[in-house]
Structure 1
Amino acid sequence: MTEAAELPPAPEEAREVFGERFLEAVRYAELLADVGVTRGLIGPREVPRLWERHLLNCAVLSEVVPEGVTVCDVGSGAGLPGIPLALTRPDLRITLLEPLLRRTNFLQEVVELLGLDHVTVVRGRAEEVLGKLPPMHVVTARAVAPLDRLAGWGVPLLRPYGEMLLLKGDTAEEELKQARAALSKLGVVGTSVLHVGEGIVDPLSTVVRVEVGESPGGVRFAAKRAKAARKGPRRRR
């Protein structure tokens, strides 16, 4: 059996980013390094770089999230980026959306342990909660799926003039180019690639911003497509 890697001490940047919630951030990191690994929510090789690659990388997303809005973190997994965002931004109302029971159990435990009263855990897929959740100002996600597919899940959850803020890697620009046609069909009116976390993370975190307009046409299209996907392909007679 492989010995678990040791969680390194929190860097000074973590104190700056998490502020009054620094101790809760440390507790969250400890949970990820312990039960997060044993439950298969995060790989043991990620433990030595939990702070830089995961917690801080996600927390700096707060730089581009508007004040006092509602946020849905799609495919939240172990709570990334939703939990770090919640720790840095108590002004937000955050929903952690995750389909797997073992993950939602972990998320609920974390929310209760850290006293995150502004966070709600919901079990389900994005296409399953349409009409059950209120339309969101912001949808976030990290390492969930290619951009076109992710937008198909996330755009229907947005209210008019809402936006998706997606943590992506070095291929963000290329991924955005390839997804432009699909994004247009979804009613997307603007896209951009942002780099956040200067002085906190190196390299900077890359965020793809996807903005929708007033017209709900793209949202209706995505909802119909999601419904068709649930039914599966038609059989030829």
Structure 2
Amino acid sequence: MAEQEQEPDRQADVELGASDQVRALFGDRYDVVAGFADRLQAEGELRGLIGPREVPRLWERHLLNSAAVLPYLSAATSIADVGSGAGLPGIVIAAMRPEAEVYLIEPMERRTAWLTEVSGDLGLDNVQVKRGRAEEFHGAFEVDVVTSRAVAALSKLARMSLPLARPGGEMVVLKGRNVAQEIEPARKVLRSFRCSEPELLDGVTVDGVEPTTILRVRRG
């Protein structure tokens, strides 16, 4: 019964992924992103990367959600994705920005194995997979932009992420609707990095797909 109930959603999601709007959004990188979608569809649940309820809505809830951050990465030539997990948004970013060096930071071995495997299979030569917590790489390298998706509350996320951003670099993260409530508790941490006032931005992709909320701060 559950499979029968999910099937219409899955078909709608497949049709969304093949739509002209989505193809136009990803442009000449569409085939790479679609290849990533196919891998997640086939292996994501089996390898413990995504839950079974997420499989029928990969494009709408995950791939397009990840792509929403791209317009806010400006001219970044180096990007770190904290807590990459299944590669959302890191693999999508790497696929869309092949000229940028993309670090995928993930502590779990089975997830880093997946990230290494899928980035290699997709021909993403701009990816470096880093196994460990973000804090373990403080001082090891700095990037233009640090991003993440649904990793931690802003105060904790800022402590993890901002040391990876160069002075003048940015933290640009995909957050939920209630992120505004996380700003005040995070102000002490943000001040310690002399950050700009947090901006809340709309992450818009294609018609009919709900925008996501993006928070951006610049490190002083």
- TM-score for both structures, normalised by structure 2: 0.89
1:99-110 equivalence runs, <5 A: 99-110=107-118
Partner of 1:231: none
The separation in 1 between residues aligned to 2:121 and 2:216, in whole angstroms, is 32
The separation in 2 between residues aligned to 1:179 and 1:68, in whole angstroms, is 25
Of 167, 175, 180, which residue of structure 1 is paired with 2:174? Answer: 167
Q: Which has the larger radius of gyration?
A: 1
Please identify runs of 4+ aligned residues in structure 1 that moved more than 3 A: 2-8, 198-201
Q: CA deviation at 1:16?
A: 1.4
Of 204, 221, 235, which residue of structure 1 is paired with 2:211? Answer: 204
Residue identity opposite 1:160 in structure 2: P
- Give the match's secondary structure for 1:188: coil
The separation in 2 between residues aligned to 1:131 and 1:154, in whole angstroms, is 12
Residue identity opposite 1:50 in structure 2: L
Partner of 1:72: 80
Give the paired residue count. 211
Partner of 1:183: 190
Deviations 1:95-117 (A, max 9, x none): 10101000000001110111011
Partner of 1:222: none
Instruction: Name whichever of 74-83 and 61-70 sits farther off.
Output: 61-70
The separation in 1 between residues aligned to 2:207 and 2:143, in whole angstroms, is 28
Structure 2: runs of 5 or more not aligned:
none
Contact kept? 2:162, 2:171, Cα under 8 Å: yes
Of 73, 95, 98, which residue of structure 2 is paired with 1:90? Answer: 98
Structure 1: runs of 5 or more not aligned:
214-237
Cα RMSD over matched residues?
A: 1.9
Q: CA deviation at 1:156?
A: 0.7
Partner of 2:42: 34
Of 38, 44, 48, which residue of structure 1 is paired with 2:52? Answer: 44
Q: CA deviation at 1:199?
A: 3.6
Partner of 1:192: 199
Contact kept? 2:76, 2:144, Cα under 8 Å: no
